[in-house]
Amino acid sequence: MRLLLLAVVAVPAIAFWPTDPQDPDQVDWAQHVRKACESRRFGIRLAAAKRVANGGDAAIPAIAAYAKDKGQNAIPSSLVDAIADANVYEPKVTALLTTWAKDQTFYWRSSAMRGLALRAGATSNQIERETWGKLFHAYTDDPAWLMRTHARFGAELAGQPNPNQAPERDPRARVRLARLLLDYGKVPSLQPLIDGLADERTFLGIPWGARLGQESSKALNRWLAADFPELTGGNTLESTAAILAAAEKKSGQSLTMPKLQRDPEHGITGGFEIASCKFGDQFVQWSADGTVRFGIDGSRTVKLPADKWQELSQQQTAIALDANAGVVVCDKLQMVLLDAKTRVDIAPESLPTAASDWLKRLAQSLEEANETETAATLRRGLGQFEGR
């Protein structure tokens, strides 16, 4: 009788008992997604992004609705990175990451690709691994260095490396792939990280070599843990040699001591960088004699005919821009002229006409110097910056 009474009282009470606030199906994901995308405080966006990412499949409709309403590129990188990194391997999450990774107009497709790579590493099913492999192979030579690096990372984790992929020429990509694999627990060839330690090169004043050194050092520090040597600092090569010795001992790999990489004296007077998450980065710099260098390390050179270069030089005021233009979210064109002390960032569709015309003339001159491929690549990269 007492039990019956308890049941009569308890059932309605349980019916109105508040639902578990952690129940993913009961969470107001739209609110969390808005916070992850729109909060003015970076830390708040980051925390909300992690919450959304950990919601897994339950949060996906809210993300899709937000993207539909505000546009795909209103989704910030912090949210995509959080979803990529979350230890949540659910079908709707994977489907969304796949859609993002395949969308060339999406700024953060490389982050989505990293998320796919991590998920590919979690499966031991051979058929699934082969399916993943096919997806990754389509991007292992993508022009955007992070995109192809994450695709190569995924192919490695799926046990499906692409035998036909091109050799990697970008030092940033070599270091990043080694770092990703090491962090994941797969010890790759450590030579790119050792090389990174001794890199002090810059591009038009941007110290990208030092950034590689920090990334390499941090990755090796994490992996070597207690075996990471005590460094006195102040001497890059001494520190590199000490870390190399510890890395050789732990890995059993035979590693080569790198030379200190510094900028050669080329008399660079200006140039530009196209940073593009969509289409890949381009680095172009020139010296007064008409030698144009390509690549972050300036390793490929083209000498323009003297008359052509003289003509371009005389018109350089067209690119001596005095103010940033447009709102940069990810892709940008940074124009630098050392003598004119110009350094400006240009967002897509914001390049002034005169500057755009000068860059077209540069591409034309390259084409006339039989650099057809280089000129075409340059035109592709510059296209999205032309003013509308």
Partner 1 sequence: MATTADGMKIQQGRRSFGKLSGPSLTMIRLPLSFLLLTAIGVQPLQDPEPVGFPVLAGYEYKEGMTLPKEVTNLNEKVVEIRGFMRREFAGSGPVNSFMLINDACGCMGTPMMNEIVFCTLPDGVTMELLTGVVTVTGKLYVGEVKEDGDVILIYAMDADTVTAS
Q: Is 216 in the site for partner 1 (CB under 8 A)?
A: no
Nearer Cβ to partner 1, position 279 or 294?
279
Nearer Cβ to partner 1, position 35 or 360?
35
User: Residue 165 is encoded by which pair of tokens?
Assistant: 């992929």
Give the range of 11-19, 257-265, 270-278, 285-293 binding partner 1 by CB under 8 A.
Answer: 270-278
Q: Is 328 in the site for partner 1 (CB under 8 A)?
A: yes
Query: In which region does residue 49 sit, left (phi positive, over 0), alpha (psi from -120 to 50) or beta (all else)?
Result: alpha
Q: Is 275 in the site for partner 1 (CB under 8 A)?
A: yes
**Nearest distance, CB of residue 41 and partner 1, angstroms:** 6
Nearer Cβ to partner 1, position 182 or 304?
182
User: Residue 298 is encoded by which pair of tokens?
Assistant: 């300036």
- Which helix (DSSP H) or strand (DSSP E) does residue 334 occupy? strand 332-337
**Nearest distance, CB of residue 317 and partner 1, angstroms:** 13
**Nearest distance, CB of residue 372 and partner 1, angstroms:** 28
Encoded one letter per residue, x for contact with partner 1 by CB under 8 A and - for no contact, window 86-125 reads ------------------------xx--------------
* d(C-alpha 112, C-alpha 277), whole Å: 12
Nearer Cβ to partner 1, position 62 or 219?
219
Nearer Cβ to partner 1, position 46 or 241?
46
Nearer Cβ to partner 1, position 40 or 68?
40
Question: Around 215, how many Cα atoms within 13 Å sit in the side-chain half-sphere?
Answer: 25
Q: Nearest to residue 211, comparing CAs of 196, 229, 192?
A: 196
* d(C-alpha 225, C-alpha 67), whole Å: 42
Q: Is 77 in the site for partner 1 (CB under 8 A)?
A: yes
Q: Nearest to residue 48, comparing CAs of 59, 309, 57?
A: 59
**Nearest distance, CB of residue 128 and partner 1, angstroms:** 26
CA distances (Å), origin 109, targets 89, 233, 290: 18, 38, 36
Count the residues of the shown chain that bind partner 1, applying the rule CB under 8 A.
46
Nearest-5° Cα angle at 18, 16 to 22? 150
Question: Please, which residues have CB within 8 angstroms of residue 230's CB and are 6 or more apart in sequence?
Answer: none
Q: Is 159 in the site for partner 1 (CB under 8 A)?
A: no
Q: Is 205 in the site for partner 1 (CB under 8 A)?
A: yes
Alpha helices in the chain (DSSP H): 2-15, 29-38, 42-54, 60-70, 77-85, 91-102, 109-120, 126-137, 145-157, 171-184, 191-197, 208-224, 236-251, 306-314, 353-368, 372-383
3 state SS for 60-86: HHHHHHHHHHHCHHHCCHHHHHHHHHC
Q: Is 206 in the site for partner 1 (CB under 8 A)?
A: yes
Give the range of 54-62, 259-267, 276-284, 372-380 binding partner 1 by CB under 8 A.
Answer: 276-284
Nearer Cβ to partner 1, position 44 or 237?
44
Give the footprint of partner 1 on this chain (CB under 8 A): 40-44, 46-48, 77-78, 81-82, 110-111, 146, 205-208, 211, 214, 217-218, 221-222, 275-277, 281, 322-324, 326-330, 332, 334, 336, 340-345
